[in-house]
Every structure is written in structure tokens, then in C-alpha cells.
Amino acid sequence: CQIGGRHNVSLWFVLQDDITLMKDMKLNHYRFSISWPRILPSGQKTELNERGIKYYEDLINRLLDNQITPVVTLYHWDLPQVLQEKYGGWQNASMVNYFNDFADLCFQRFGNRVKYWITFNNPWSIAVEGYETGEHAPGLKLRGTGAYRAAHHIIKAHAQVWHTYDMKWRSRQKGLVGISLTADWGEPVDITNQRDIEAAERYIQFYLGWFASPIFSGDYPQVMKDYIGRKSGQQGLGASRLPVFSPQEKSYIKGTSDFLGLGHFTTRYVTLKNYPSGLGDSYFADRDLAELVDPRWPDPGSEWLYSVPWGFRRLLNFVKMQYGNPMIHVTENGVSEKMLCTDLCDDWRMQYFKDYINEMLKAVKDGVNVKGYTAWSLLDNFEWDEGFSERFGLYYVDFRSKTKPRYPKASVHFYKRIISSNGFPNQREVESWKRKAVETCSSSNQLLAADPLIGHMEMVTEIVVPTVCTLCILLSAVFLMFLLRGRL
């Protein structure tokens, strides 16, 4: 669960409270990110924000005091603005060294206590949504080239950070450094149709393989090199839009992940669809495929998120087969709800967790090396596409209130049972967990229902009172001026 780099409420007592929530749920680890600009506001090591460092030190210490292992992500999408403005962010190769300096500083300052490091969270989103579709920061629409360039530099930056840790810190600190990749599963529409099978394979290779292949196997997936290379040629370009790793770079990058962090939320059916070149380059057109969904799949929240648990097991087995059965930590898995739905009795989330965790356990039985699972997310937080209107939290957060109070959804009680049983004992017991969770959440619902009143009172003290006071002062000043002018 993650709030770290994006902690909005940094009051100490809130931090304490959240750790109490974690402890109460018997979480044994907590994933959060360190905000690069918070530590190095100019992006470079010349200017250090000691208060930012202190904030993370306190968080880490407090977690350890409570026997909760910190799992720290170094880049969950917040780049120091100056690096974007001066160099173009991840379009520029110089980010590799800047990011390495930041990571090195984190290892130096926190590495005696942090043993699990994740370099990047979901680089697919950074590259595609940041530099191809422009939906995320920095909002660039460099179609057909931007995402590939950004990814190229991210992969190199990841590798350099892993080597820095390996050479400089590992022997003393004895931690692990990995990357967290997010991917959907892609299932052929027709499993007897070779063209659909290949299209589904391309879907996964363009998603997961784009990053995992260089890191685990030493180069981009062959199918990406073939498709992008061919289309670039048809477009009259002298070279592929997909950058190339030199032989030295390939061997430098290969093997640079001590574990694979895996984020997974949903699945797509995939079929062949040709995109003739000349209609505009794009990452999406390069894949020559169409994504489909089954209208019967539940989709309680985000429009891209359908609950398809069986896809999780297939994806995990794909990782095992494709990358030599690496150690996997599931870093993100969860489901949202739309804002209008303020019901704390989130039976669809309990169902999602039950089904997805169950499929993960089947994958473990298949021999997949899953060592950890982290739900997304502990608290409702800022969603990158939809802001605060899509809630992924186990805990509901009342964003209208200054103190951002947390209310447990039914899934808190349910998830807690999964943790203490380390899985599912039997169907009957699991059903009774659900019943009890729903009973408990009804009382929290009542608390939340009383909340608009609190919000209203806060609005009065925060907006109405200061505005009225300012107006009074202004009026008095005007009145005084008139009075003085009359006397002169």
C-alpha cells in the first residue's frame, strides 16, 4: 500500500495513526515511495532538503518499531520540475545519472534500515501515459517515439542504480533491489487461431516484455524489434523508432533485478488488427492488435479495470516461464469504486481480493516463485487519471475534512482475516468472514453519514470566518480614510 511520496497530510499524529491501522491489520510490510523533489528540490545532489530526509527517517523508524518492513520505491512518477524544464525529463539521457545520484543518496541515508528497494513503479505508465498519450505528467504527445525513448532511459537508469547498490552498498546493507512492472494479461480471443495467439503474445511483450526482457534476458523482445523496425522502414525512416542497446549495454542491463515487483489489475481479450503505416505512428498502432473485454466481467470502478481473476494466474505463469522463475513480489493489486459510491460495505472489493489472491495461490502451487503480496491500496489516495474521484483504498478517506479521517471499509476486516489465516481455510469460513465484515461496516457507514456536518462546520471556520474578517478590515480601512479626509 502506498502513500509515501504523495503523503498529503504530514502531521505526525496522522502518521502514527496510519501505522496503528497497519499494525491492527497485521500487515508485515508497507510499500511507499520517496519523493525525489522532496529530498532534492533541484533534482541534483547540490541542494539537500534535510527536513524531507527527516520525514522519511521518522516513517521508516516508526515502521520498524512496529515490526513492519519498509518496501521503498524510488520513483513513483514525481520528477523534479527543473529536470523536466531544463532537459525534457526522461527524453534525455542525462536523467540516468541524476536518478542514480538520488538513489545513491537514499541508499546512503536510509539503506541501513531499508532492505527492499524498487527503482521504478510501473515504467509503462511513465513512458506511454507521460510521453505518448500525454495523459500523465509531463503531458507530452510524442507519438511513436516519446515512449520508446523514455523507456530506454528508464531501463538504463534502473540498471545503473542496481549496479551502484551492488558495488557500493550491498555487502554492508545486504538488501535487494528490484523494479516494479505493471501488466495486464492478454488472452487470445480465439485460442485455436494462431493470429490471435500471436496478437496476445505481442500484447504482453509490448507491455511487460518491453521492460522485463532487457532486464532478465538482455534485450528488447524480438517481436518489438521486428514490428517497430518494419513499420519504421515503411514510414521511410532510416532507423527503427525503437532505440537499440549496444552489446555492452545489453550485458550491463541483463540480470539487474534481485526480484520482480509485479503490479496487476486486469485482463484483455486480444485479436489481430492491422494498422497500416502512414496513418500516424504510435505505440498502440505498432502492436497491430485490438483489445476487447467481455461485457459480463465486473467493472465496479475505473473504466479500464475489469475483474478477471484467472488472468492473474496466467500472467504469473508467463513470468515464470519467460524469465526463469524469478522471485516475485506482487506490488499492486486491487480495485476501485466510483466516487458516488460512498458505501463502506464494499462487497465487490472483498470478492476481487478473494478471487485474485486465490488465483495467486494457485500460481504458487504451479511453482511460481511469489514471495509477497501488497494490496493497492491501504488508503484512498490520488488516482493519476481521475484524481480523488476513484477510490482504491481499504480505508475510506474523507478528503473534505482537514484531518482526513479514515473509515474502515468491509474489505479491511476481510483482508485482515486473509492475513491472519495466510490464505483461505475453507469456503464456509470465508463466507462467514464476509458476513461479519458487512456487519461491522454498517456501523462505520453511520459514522461517515454524520460527516457532511463536520465538513460543513470546517467550511464555516476555514472559509466563511476569514472572508468576513477580511471584509470587515477592508471596510474599516475605507471608513477610516473617509474620516481622515474629512478632518484635513
Ligand X SMILES: CCCCCCCCCCCCC/C=C/[C@@H](O)[C@@H](N)CO[C@@H]1O[C@H](CO)[C@@H](O)[C@H](O)[C@H]1O
Site string for ligand X, 39-68 (x = CB under 6 A): ------------------------------
Instruction: Decide if residue 267 touches ligand X (CB under 6 A).
Output: no
Q: Which is nearer to ligand X, 258 or 286 (CB)?
A: 286
What nine digits make up the cell of 386? 481521475
Taking the complex as a whole, how short is the minimal distance between the CB of residue 122 and ligand X, in angstroms? Answer: 4
Is residue 25 a contact partner of residue 68, using CB atoms and an 8 Å limit? no
Is residue 177 a contact partner of residue 258, using CB atoms and an 8 Å limit? yes
Neighbours of 28 (CB within 10 A): 11
Single-letter residue type at 6: R
Q: Is 15 helix (H, G, I), strand (E, B) or coil?
A: helix
Instruction: Write down how long the chain is.
Output: 488
Residue 436: half-sphere exposure toward Cβ, Cα within 13 Å: 12
Instruction: Decide if residue 263 touches ligand X (CB under 6 A).
Output: yes
What nine digits make up the cell of 58? 521518522
What percent helix, strand, coil does the chain show, rounded to 5?
A: 50, 15, 35
Q: Which is nearer to ligand X, 38 or 417 (CB)?
A: 38
Is residue 60 a contact partner of residue 114, using CB atoms and an 8 Å limit? yes
Distance CA 48, CA 39 (A): 6
Which one of 57-65, 233-241, 376-384, 406-414 is the stretch in contact with ligand X (CB under 6 A)? 376-384
Instruction: Decide if residue 121 touches ligand X (CB under 6 A).
Output: yes
Which H helix or E strand runs over 24?
helix 12-25
Instruction: Decide if residue 311 touches ligand X (CB under 6 A).
Output: no
Q: Pick one of 84, 119, 122, 173: the residue that binds ligand X (CB under 6 A).
A: 122
Non-local CB neighbours of 209 within 8 Å, separated by 6+ positions: 220, 221, 223, 224, 322
Centroid of chain to Cα 413: 24
What pairs with residue 330 in β-bridges? 262, 373
Instruction: Decide if residue 285 touches ligand X (CB under 6 A).
Output: yes
Instruction: Decide if residue 304 touches ligand X (CB under 6 A).
Output: yes
Instruction: Decide if residue 204 touches ligand X (CB under 6 A).
Output: no
Q: Pick one of 356, 392, 407, 414: the residue that binds ligand X (CB under 6 A).
A: 392
Taking the complex as a whole, how short is the minimal distance between the CB of residue 130 and ligand X, in angstroms? Answer: 12
Q: Pick one of 160, 267, 282, 307: the residue that binds ligand X (CB under 6 A).
A: 282
Q: Pick one of 162, 284, 323, 395: the residue that binds ligand X (CB under 6 A).
A: 284
Residue nearest to ligand X (CB): 284
Instruction: Decide if residue 384 touches ligand X (CB under 6 A).
Output: yes
Site string for ligand X, 161-190 (x = CB under 6 A): ---------------------x--------
What nine digits make up the cell of 62? 516508526
Q: Which is nearer to ligand X, 111 or 334 (CB)?
A: 334
Alpha helices in 306-426, H assignment, sequence order: 310-323, 347-365, 410-421
Q: Pick one of 35, 73, 84, 125: the residue that binds ligand X (CB under 6 A).
A: 125
Q: Which is nearer to ligand X, 169 or 376 (CB)?
A: 376
Instruction: Decide if residue 123 touches ligand X (CB under 6 A).
Output: no
Q: Is the dihedral of CA 260, 266, 267, 268 positive or negative?
A: negative
Taking the complex as a whole, how short is the minimal distance between the CB of residue 304 and ligand X, in angstroms? Answer: 4
Instruction: Decide if residue 388 touches ligand X (CB under 6 A).
Output: no
Task: Classify residue 253 as left (phi > 0), alpha (psi -120 to 50) or beta.
Answer: alpha
Which one of 119-127, 186-194, 394-402, 457-465 is the stretch in contact with ligand X (CB under 6 A)? 119-127
Distance CA 121, CA 185 (A): 18
Instruction: Decide if residue 333 touches ligand X (CB under 6 A).
Output: no
Is residue 107 a contact partner of residue 164, using CB atoms and an 8 Å limit? yes
Instruction: Decide if residue 133 touches ligand X (CB under 6 A).
Output: yes
Which one of 118-126, 160-168, 363-371, 428-436 is the stretch in contact with ligand X (CB under 6 A)? 118-126
Q: Which is nearer to ligand X, 175 or 263 (CB)?
A: 263
Residue ranges binding ligand X (CB under 6 A): 121-122, 125, 133, 182, 263, 265, 282, 284-285, 304, 332, 376, 383-384, 392
